[in-house]
Amino acid sequence: MAIESVGSQKYFPSDSSSIRRSENPQPKKTQTVTMSTDRVDNEIETLKSKGLAIAKSINSYDDEETRILKRDQLKQIQDELRRKDNDIYRRQNSDISLGVDVEA
């Protein structure tokens, strides 16, 4: 630390910028971020169960048109599952909540 003299007084840089600290410090505030994928997981599980039910019932129909219709429905569900059953979709569609915790 360099000492600068002006006249007969000596000035230290730390003297001019001294900060008084309060005796009652402010409590620290922290923020928490919570991401919940429960809603997305339930949606995916519903699609899986619906697809499984359709896949099991396809051969029980006697009418060929109904079988084709059910196969198309199953294909749509499988396509939707391909789009939704991944981490990127879960993060983009998760429920985000912010909280502020005060610590003493």
- Encode pLDDT of 62-80 as tens digits: 999 999 999 999 999 999 9
pTM of the model: 0.63
Of the chain, the percentage scoring pLDDT greater than 70 comes to 73
SS3 38: helix
Query: Which whole number is the average pLDDT over 31-54?
Result: 94
Contacts for 19-23: CB closer than 8 Å, 24+ residues apart? none
Would you state the pLDDT for residue 8? 52
Rounded Cα gap, residues 52 and 50, in angstroms: 5
pLDDT for 56 equals 93
Cα separation of the two ends of the chain: 36
Q: Tell me how crowded residue 73 is: count the other CB atoms within 10 A of its CB.
A: 14
Residue that is written with structure tokens 């939704």 in the block: 84
Q: What is the reported pLDDT for 14?
A: 54
How do residues 82-99 score in pLDDT, each as one tens digit?
A: 999 999 999 999 999 888
Q: What is the DSSP-derived secondary structure letter of residue 59?
A: G
